Structure 1
């Protein structure tokens, strides 16, 4: 079986499992799973399911979902249609098969722009919601993006195709097929390499100044980019130019800088001296020598890691100040970063380069210590088997896309079956999942409703701030409570579609609002929700499920009855006011709800006990490492540290104890101190000892 056939088989199994567990149609489960990938890939800001189908033949119209308010995504209106085949066989389709799938979506768009179509529908109808949004925002729409999502394999080459403009608004379509999703799931790459060919596509290579010496660790170049060229490149490649995590971070702060746009319109010749310029990376560049000197003929996989607002403003000038763009120039610092060093280098470039927004971009990348620690917990922390099950298991945290599928793929036969028992697929969660669990419990369902990327941006900002102040907070108990939140969130996802009051749609909003409401109501003067019992049992009590569903029903009422002036329910759910309404509602939980709570005193005691146990484990681990390294090793550490005069009297005495093994065994406290000294001497460059085997996870 080929990799893509295996991927198809596993995907269909996942979709069937979710559909069966939640009682939803398979195409709805398919939509939810695949659009989660689209938002993570940066293809869409958010994705709301809004299924509508009517008519037949050449009059058939259909839509499966949309990408939120275009005013929140630089005027891009995203519409989604699903091509789902309920088949165990891997099917294919080509370019000639696209029109019958895409034309109903195009017809829907044309009809949805008319008040006649909108007013003939009930206000809670998803088609009404989209039509009303399109009518209200059409004057601000800059591009229409039609996305075809399929579980078949697309066998044509076209990735993104320009269609005829609609009232001067450009319309494009793109296909996310099975192969593209498989590439993304395995490596985070959803497209072929992006090559910007200055010579072939834009007429001439771009003059450059090499800013690195021959043999330097990284190549660097300085370029002066004409504004027209920046706008044209962005118009061609769009958000793919902007590293998804950094782009999201910037969007979470402020809208495109109005001052930048004003300079372009009123003083374009001063844009260069006023603007800080762009910081960018590329995987490779091709250079040529011209009569004027060095020039870059092409750039592979360009990423603007600092300057998203500048880039967006220059692109916006294509509509608002096209003539002035001829006088706009911007400097670019370009660094060539090999793919295998991207996680290490790009976050630092982004963090150090950004002065306008004080971006701590490292918070967003998968190699941040927070993500690494959660990954370590997820590979080591064992949860007892649920009642009625035989096997203990773990929750797999995927801090980087592709970890799970690749880790599983390295195994075959019985080893793969063991992996599936140890890490069940339903216990896989990603960075954006983690942010949804945490922010729902923290009473921010309106933020969660704004989409995975915007929610993650806020979460990462908060983690970045609290990690530096108190990274010890994120210990094993914190992780276990995180898993309890995941169990609550996913139980709601499964149970809400089965409820008699559920009319379809807005499930994601109802889930986060219901969870936030129960956590809010459980947080009393002396009590909180008992997450520790959920973590131990790996399941929810019947009493808690009843409470969650009562909150879900109330959330459904609030979301589907928006405040005056709000008609789009998805947009209403993104407002603080929506949460305020639900937060204030009184829900009569049954008496058993009290059994779902624990005293704050006991919660604090559990935290204290967990920290004590963690300290004991750290001491045991340090002592074990000190003994394993042996007397000769510690004698050399003492000799070199003493020779460099970098040891205090106390440190020298502890190292001598370690050097007298096995006659003297260092205590746990002494061992931890010795490891600390070892790490300091290593950082200072004092030691000429191989420390490959001396890794020690400090707590």
Structure 2
């Protein structure tokens, strides 16, 4: 079985399991699962399900979802249609089938611009809401992006292919097929390479100054990019040029900077001295020699890791200040980073280049210490088997796309079975999942409703600020309580579609709002929700289940009955006012709901006990490591540090104890100190060849 066939088999099993558990159609489960990938990959900023179909054959209209209000995504209107094929074998389709797949979506879009079509629909119909949004925002729509998602394999090319303009607005389509999703799930890569050929497509090669020596670890260049070229490049590839984590970071802030735009309009010749420029990376750079000197002819997979607001502002000038663009120039620091080092290097480039924001984009990268710590907990912390089950399990945290699928793929068949028992697929979660769990519990469901990436951006900002003040609170008990929140969230996802009041749609909004409401009502000055009881049993207590479903019914009512003048319920759920309305409603829970609460002091005691237990375990481990290294090793460290005058009197005292093993055994506290000294000595050159 090929990797693609195995991926398809696992995907279909997951889709059917999700559909059966939640009582939804398989195509709905497919839409929810795959649009998460679209937002993470930067194809869309958000994806809201909005199914509508009517007519047959050449009159058929269909849409499965849309990418939110175009005013929130630089005027880009994203529309989504699904091609979902049942069956256990991998199916294919070619370019000749694209018209029959895309035309129903194109027909729907054209109809949706017609007020008569809109007014013929019920206001609760998703098609009405999309049509109303398109009509209301048409003057601000700059691009239309049609996206086809399929569980079949497309034998052709369809990444950003242009179609005929609609009312003067450019239209393009993009195909996400099975193979593309498989590539993304394995490595986080799902696109054709971006190859920017300056000579062929953008006027001329860019004069450059090489800023690295021949033997340098990384190849670097300094370039001066004309504003017209940068705007044209961004117009073609858009947010694909923005490194995914930087894009997430910027979603928490203004899209473009008014000061930058003012300079372009009023003093374009001063743009270069006023602007800090761009920091970018690439997989490869092709250079040529011209009469003027070195020039960059092409760049492969350009990613702007700092300067996205500058880029967006220059692109906006195509409409607002096109005549001034020829006078605009921007500097670019370009570094060629091998793909196997990108996760190590790119975050640091972004961190050190970013001086405009207190919390920088590096906080969002998968190798931030917060994510590394959560990953370590997820591999080490064992949870007791649920009632009726035989095996203890773990929750697999994927801090970097592809970790789960690749870790499993490297194992033998027997090892895979053991892996599946240890890490059940239902206990896998990603960075964006973590952010949803945490923000739902902390009373920010309107942020969660804005989509996985925007929610993650806001969450990461909070974590970055908190982590910089102190990381001690993000310990093992924090991780265990996070798992309790995951259990609640996942239980609600399964149960909401089964309720008789559920009319279809808005499940994601209902889940986060219901969870936020129950946490809001339960947590007070004296009592809080007993999360420790949930992770110990790995299940939601029955009284809490009833409370959550009571809140879910109320959330449904709040979301589908917005105030007068608001017609789009998905957009309503993204507003603070929606959460204020939900938060202010008085709910009556059953009397036994009290059994799901615990005293604040007891919760704090559990936290203290966990820290004391960890300190004892760390001390035992440190003592064992110090003793195993042996007296000869410690004598060598002591001599090296003493000869170079790198040791304090206390350092020498502790190392002398270690150098006397086994006659004298260092305490756990002394062992921890000795290992800290060893780390310091290694940083100063000890052990280097």
Aligned position for 1:688: 687
> For 1:460-539, what aligned pairs fall within 5 Å after superposition?
460-539=460-539
Displacement of 1:668: 0.7
Displacement of 1:227: 1.0
Cα offsets for 1:481-526 (capped at 9, x unmatched):
0000000000000000000000000100000000000000101231
Q: Is the 8 A contact 1:437 1:482 kept in 2?
A: yes
Q: Is the 8 A contact 2:246 2:361 kept in 1?
A: yes
Q: Is the 8 A contact 2:359 2:461 kept in 1?
A: no
1:656 aligns with 2:647: no
Aligned position for 2:616: 616
Displacement of 1:688: 3.1
Query: Structure 1 residue runs of 4+, over 3 Å off?
Result: none
Partner Cα separation in structure 1 for residue 66 and residue 243 of structure 2: 23
User: What TM-score, normalized to structure 1?
Assistant: 0.97
Cα offsets for 1:636-686 (capped at 9, x unmatched):
11111121222222221211111111222111111111111111222233x
Q: Is the 8 A contact 1:527 1:600 kept in 2?
A: yes
Q: Is the 8 A contact 1:351 1:359 kept in 2?
A: no
Q: Is the 8 A contact 1:160 1:173 kept in 2?
A: yes
> For 1:181-220, what aligned pairs fall within 5 Å after superposition?
181-220=181-220
Aligned position for 2:169: 169
Q: Is the 8 A contact 2:50 2:66 kept in 1?
A: yes
Displacement of 1:300: 1.1
Partner Cα separation in structure 1 for residue 464 and residue 356 of structure 2: 18
Q: Is the 8 A contact 1:350 1:359 kept in 2?
A: no
Partner Cα separation in structure 2 for residue 10 and residue 255 of structure 1: 38
Displacement of 1:121: 1.2
> For 1:99-498, what aligned pairs fall within 5 Å after superposition?
99-498=99-498
Partner Cα separation in structure 2 for residue 526 and residue 138 of structure 1: 52
Q: More deviation in 322-331 or 453-462?
A: 322-331
Partner Cα separation in structure 2 for residue 135 and residue 170 of structure 1: 17
SS at 2:103 equivalent: helix
Cα offsets for 1:456-505 (capped at 9, x unmatched):
01111111111121211111100000000000000000000000000000
Displacement of 1:203: 4.2
Partner Cα separation in structure 2 for residue 97 and residue 255 of structure 1: 37
Aligned position for 1:60: 60
Aligned position for 1:694: none
Aligned position for 2:586: 586
Aligned position for 2:13: 13
Partner Cα separation in structure 1 for residue 320 and residue 647 of structure 2: 66
Q: Is the 8 A contact 1:282 1:299 kept in 2?
A: yes
Q: Is the 8 A contact 2:198 2:206 kept in 1?
A: yes
Partner Cα separation in structure 2 for residue 631 and residue 545 of structure 1: 58
SS at 1:528 equivalent: strand
SS at 2:670 equivalent: helix
Q: More deviation in 198-207 or 554-563?
A: 198-207
Partner Cα separation in structure 1 for residue 255 and residue 4 of structure 2: 41
Q: More deviation in 479-488 or 344-353?
A: 344-353
Displacement of 1:247: 1.6
Partner Cα separation in structure 1 for residue 367 and residue 89 of structure 2: 38
* Coordinate RMSD, CA, aligned: 1.1
Structure 1: state its 5+ residue gaps.
Answer: 691-699
Q: Is the 8 A contact 1:348 1:361 kept in 2?
A: no
Partner Cα separation in structure 2 for residue 688 and residue 287 of structure 1: 41
Cα offsets for 1:565-594 (capped at 9, x unmatched):
322111111111110111111111101111
1:679 aligns with 2:679: yes
Cα offsets for 1:26-76 (capped at 9, x unmatched):
000000000011111111100000000011111110000000010111100
User: What TM-score, normalized to structure 2?
Assistant: 0.99
1:561 aligns with 2:552: no
Structure 2: state its 5+ residue gaps.
Answer: none
Partner Cα separation in structure 2 for residue 362 and residue 304 of structure 1: 13
Partner Cα separation in structure 1 for residue 656 and residue 162 of structure 2: 74
Aligned position for 2:668: 668
Partner Cα separation in structure 1 for residue 524 and residue 242 of structure 2: 44
Q: Is the 8 A contact 1:558 1:578 kept in 2?
A: yes
Q: Is the 8 A contact 2:255 2:312 kept in 1?
A: no
Cα offsets for 1:88-139 (capped at 9, x unmatched):
1110001111111110100110111111111111111111111111111111
Q: Is the 8 A contact 1:261 1:313 kept in 2?
A: yes
Aligned position for 1:69: 69
Aligned position for 1:697: none
Partner Cα separation in structure 1 for residue 433 and residue 684 of structure 2: 40
Partner Cα separation in structure 2 for residue 203 and residue 316 of structure 1: 20
SS at 1:472 equivalent: coil
Q: Is the 8 A contact 2:351 2:361 kept in 1?
A: yes
SS at 1:467 equivalent: helix
Q: More deviation in 195-204 or 171-180?
A: 195-204
Partner Cα separation in structure 1 for residue 272 and residue 660 of structure 2: 66
Partner Cα separation in structure 2 for residue 224 and residue 235 of structure 1: 19
Q: Is the 8 A contact 2:359 2:464 kept in 1?
A: no
Partner Cα separation in structure 2 for residue 267 and residue 377 of structure 1: 53
Displacement of 1:152: 0.2
Partner Cα separation in structure 2 for residue 522 and residue 679 of structure 1: 45
Q: Is the 8 A contact 2:375 2:398 kept in 1?
A: yes
SS at 1:662 equivalent: coil
Partner Cα separation in structure 1 for residue 158 and residue 124 of structure 2: 37
Partner Cα separation in structure 2 for residue 673 and residue 348 of structure 1: 30
Aligned position for 1:625: 625
Q: More deviation in 659-668 or 356-365?
A: 356-365
Partner Cα separation in structure 2 for residue 420 and residue 357 of structure 1: 42
Displacement of 1:359: 4.5
Q: Is the 8 A contact 1:449 1:509 kept in 2?
A: yes
SS at 2:671 equivalent: helix
Partner Cα separation in structure 2 for residue 305 and residue 120 of structure 1: 47
Partner Cα separation in structure 1 for residue 265 and residue 466 of structure 2: 41
Displacement of 1:291: 1.2
Cα offsets for 1:170-205 (capped at 9, x unmatched):
000010000000000000001122111112323432
SS at 2:471 equivalent: helix
Displacement of 1:689: 6.3
Partner Cα separation in structure 1 for residue 98 and residue 592 of structure 2: 54
Partner Cα separation in structure 2 for residue 560 and residue 441 of structure 1: 22
Q: More deviation in 507-516 or 466-475?
A: 466-475
Partner Cα separation in structure 2 for residue 292 and residue 262 of structure 1: 33
Q: Is the 8 A contact 1:306 1:354 kept in 2?
A: yes
SS at 2:383 equivalent: coil
Q: More deviation in 257-266 or 437-446?
A: 257-266
Aligned position for 2:640: 640
